Structure 1
Amino acid sequence: MLTGVLNSVLGMHLTILAASGRTGLALTRQALERGHTVTAIARDPRRIALEHPLLSKVAGDVSGPLEIDADSVVLSGLGTDRPGVLLDGAQAVVAAGPRRIIWLGAYGTGASAEAAGEGAQVLWKFFGDRIPDKVAADDAVLAAGGTVFHAGVLTDEPFEPGRTVGLDAAPPFDLGAKVSRETVAAAMLDEAENPRFPGAVALPLAA
């Protein structure tokens, strides 16, 4: 707990991947509000609709090598409608060798499929052939000692207090149990400041 408090007070160097997306913007804005120095990466940095003295906007594409400070903690809000992009992104981040990686995945896929139960089969209607890509990306991050957040259905509602649990306390998948991107972003930043789930899957849940 003390480490997390000190990191929050002193500020960390965070790199946000897919910073122009809805989750990426939430991560970037909240990180700046917490006093962290942020390098925000997007294919088109002009779409990162934030300005701040601690913010640097950088053009980057996960299909190629990424330049990431070795002392940085990477938080990814990367999503895709094309198979292969997530694994490319995970491999690029791992190859860059940051201090830690905190990755956003989907509850009911890969490592969390058993805990989620049969209800998670509905995900194939949404993700289809992208699920193997998600699983492979998650596995690459976990093998590198990173933390993968398996979120349920995401909304654009305002922040509300939530809780983060491990797979041992995971509830069955419920399509109606939604969680806001703002709440997920806060949980991922909490993990950056105070690591609780290194090399493991964590679930951000609404209160």
Structure 2
Amino acid sequence: MDQEGEDRQNHSADRGDHPEYGRHGIAGDRSCDAGEARSPFTSLYCIRVTCQVSYLHLMLSEKLLSVLGMNLTVLAASGQTGIALTRQALRRGHTVTAIARDPERIALPDFPNLRKVAGDVNDAAGITAAVDKDSVVLSALGTDRAGILLTGARAVVAAGPRRVIWLGAYGTGKSAEAAGESAGVLVKVLGDRLADKVEADNTVLAAGGTVFHAGMLADGPESPRRRTVGLEAAPPFDLGAKVSRETVAAAMLDEAEKPTFPGAVALPLAE
């Protein structure tokens, strides 16, 4: 072999080129080049490599969404829980569309990543216009009138967001059995609103959303010992046990960033 040919061979070895594994020993780097003749084995291998790369790209994209900021929509953003959700979401670096019947009642200063929008769940077309298809909706909707929650759930689901995270009440619907007999008091407390709550929850769950069943809500900071559990680990219902809105908001945002309870009920606990 002449010196030039030897140099080329050595240079190829230094780069790690290989007729089957390509540069740096990465399978498919050369054999998967477009237009190059392939054996049946190589073609199948290229398909496998392409699928693996696509899967990794998808996984990295989902991870980056939580790291670099997500597109979130907060429903009922002027209420105490809605404000907690919006404020915490902004602190985490997310972009937030805050929906309220009167946006001026959203008691938060203007922020580059915050958009305040007027919206009423009785106007399904208006909700659809306000909800970005690529967003995750977090609802803090509450009412003292029966029918509003189900109307709201249907409007949000019809808007077609990526996911829905809904706030419900512990001891109702899917969590009634886990809560135990003590939760029977909610029948008297909620009256005709109970059926509305249950139907709204079921609408969100059927769409693959997550429903957070919180205990009695209270003011106060986020609990440093907070945790989120499924119904299998639910504690007995205690009317005196309270959980802060800040704790509930943090749990809902955790679920938005990293889905753990899709299509299920989750419980935000203070400790």
TM-score where L is the length of structure 1? 0.97
In the alignment, which of 76, 98, 120 is matched to residue 161 of structure 2? 98
- The alignment status of 1:57 with 2:120, answered yes or no, reads no
Identity level (%):
77
Tell me, in whole angstroms, the C-alpha distance in 2 between the residues paired with 1:177 and 1:2: 40
With over 3 angstroms needed to count, the CA separation of the structure-2 counterparts of 1:174 and 1:3, relative to structure 1, is farther
- Within-5 A mapping of 1:1-207: 6-50=64-108, 51-65=110-124, 66=127, 67=129, 68-161=131-224, 162-207=226-271
Give the drift of 1:8: 3.0
- Greater helix proportion: 2
With over 3 angstroms needed to count, the CA separation of the structure-2 counterparts of 1:151 and 1:45, relative to structure 1, is same
Name the amino acid aligned to 1:9.
V
What residue ranges of structure 1 are gaps of 5+ in the alignment? Answer: none
What is the root-mean-square deviation in Å for CA atoms of aligned residues?
A: 1.4
Mark the structure with the bigger radius of gyration. Answer: 2
Name the amino acid aligned to 1:187.
A
Q: What is the DSSP-based 3-state SS (H/G/I as helix, E as strand, rest coil) of the residue aligned with 2:192?
A: helix
Q: What is the DSSP-based 3-state SS (H/G/I as helix, E as strand, rest coil) of the residue aligned with 1:121?
A: helix
Tell me, in whole angstroms, the C-alpha distance in 1 between the residues paired with 2:143 and 2:62: 31
Range moving further from structure 2, 157-166 or 134-143: 157-166
- Greater strand proportion: 1
Q: What is the DSSP-based 3-state SS (H/G/I as helix, E as strand, rest coil) of the residue aligned with 1:160?
A: coil
Structure 1's consecutive aligned runs of 4 or more residues displaced over 6 angstroms after TM superposition are 1-4
User: Residue by residue, what CA displacement relative to the aligned partner does 1:83-136 show, whole Å, maximum 9, x if unpaired?
Assistant: 000000000000000000000000000000000010001112321110000000
What residue ranges of structure 2 are gaps of 5+ in the alignment? Answer: 1-58
Tell me, in whole angstroms, the C-alpha distance in 1 between the residues paired with 2:82 and 2:107: 11
Structure with the greater relative contact order (CA < 8 A, sep ≥ 6): 1 or 2?
1
Count of aligned pairs between the two proteins: 207
